[in-house]
Structure 1
Amino acid sequence: MPHATEANPPGDIPDNQAFVPFSPPAGGYSVKIPEGWARVSGGTTTSFTDKLNSIQVSTASAATAPTAGSVIKSDVPRLRAKVPQFTPGTATSVTRTGGTAILLTYQGDSSPDPVTGKVVRDAFERYTFYRAGMRVDLTLSGPTNADNVDPWRIVSNSLRWL
């Protein structure tokens, strides 16, 4: 009996996606990102995109480790001003292979498609890691209806301090 064809919603990252390590020129950390995604770097931020999904990695100096409360107090207002139709979710402490992180969930609208002008509602997972005065913000986003739980777990568990 033949297997049913898998119907993936728009933005669903395939289960067979290969991942490759990325480390910025300044070093400090590495993280796995999906192979073949477009990369744009500027300052301390590098973004990777493919179709409707995005990964953004930013670094900053920080005197102390973030808490759920500090992320809500300092980061949410900046995101609200930057992300169209921002809707906050929750901020919680989570454990990943690279250590403890603050996970901030939220939703917002994508930038308009340059060809069609279409806007997609995105779900965001933003992990804030901290070590020895360095903060790494790892932001994963894709359409709210996409099933990216497994790929996002691979990426968020792949952060390694160098």
Structure 2
Amino acid sequence: MDKSFISCNHKLFWAAVLIAILTIMSGCQSSKTQTLPNVSLQKSAPAAPVKAQNAEKPLPPETHPFGDIPDSQTFVKYNSADGRYSIKVPEGWSRTVKGGSAVFVDKFDGVNIDITAAAVPPTVKSVQSGAAADLERHGRAVTIDKVLAVKLPGGSSVEVDFSSNSASDPVTGRQVRLENKRYYFFRNGKEVALTLWAPQGADNVDQWKTIAESFGWNL
């Protein structure tokens, strides 16, 4: 066989191999530089805080309401331990005093006077967004009925009417649904929250009026 023919075929073979290799390399390079889809990877926004819900459910009102303060009940004047205010409370009720604050209780009825420092007088709006909202979040199945401005002998006040569950009786464990009235008074950097409560359905309109209207500052 002609040597020149063999040499020519040999050269053609290696040329074909070289072309094939270059073609493969070109394809690999193309696959490496292929543009990926434009996917935006964003951090998920943190979940909005969930409003705390009180797990306690409202109790039904008593079928036979009790807790009326008798019409014959005697009221006595109480002067706070810090000397800042005075108020009439039912005689004979158990008393707990802590600083300028005091609590008077008879079974499921009660009167609480809580005095704290405050920078400005309360308003309907500030109580709605502050104290009343806190009551609903943290109280015992609290339902706010109304918030309104009232004028009493002890001065301008914000009244909050609400219902709630009572604490459990320490002996029987019984709970009842309560109706409550709270009055916020302010003077000279001090705020008093006067709270009255009784089993829902009890008739204490006149007695509560006597207590609320007897509050007065000694400042």
Separation in 2, partners of 1:151, 1:41? 22
RMSD of equivalent CA atoms = 1.4
Residue 43 of structure 1 and its aligned partner are, at CA, apart by 4.3
- Pair 1:105 & 2:186 matched: no
Residue 72 of structure 1 and its aligned partner are, at CA, apart by 1.2
SS at the partner of 1:93?
strand
Residue 81 of structure 1 and its aligned partner are, at CA, apart by 3.9
How many residues align? The count is 155
- Pair 1:155 & 2:211 matched: yes
Q: Which residue in 1 is equivalent to 2:72?
A: 16
Is the 1:59–1:136 Cα contact (8 Å) retained in structure 2?
yes
Counterpart residue type for residue 15 of structure 1:
D
4+ runs deviating over 4 angstroms: none
The TM-score with structure 2 as length reference comes to 0.68
Q: Percent identity?
A: 38
Q: Which residue in 1 is equivalent to 2:53?
A: none
Q: Which residue in 2 is equivalent to 1:142?
A: 198
Counterpart residue type for residue 64 of structure 1:
V
Q: What is the aligned counterpart of 1:86 among 138, 142, 152?
A: 142
Residue 78 of structure 1 and its aligned partner are, at CA, apart by 2.6
Is the 1:10–1:52 Cα contact (8 Å) retained in structure 2?
no
- Pair 1:119 & 2:175 matched: yes
Gaps of at least 5 residues in structure 2 are 1-63
- Bigger strand share: 1
Residue 114 of structure 1 and its aligned partner are, at CA, apart by 1.6
Give per-residue Cα distances to partners, 1:70-101, cap 9 Å, x unaligned: 11111023322442111111110111111111
The TM-score with structure 1 as length reference comes to 0.90
Separation in 1, partners of 2:170, 2:139? 17
Is the 1:128–1:137 Cα contact (8 Å) retained in structure 2?
yes
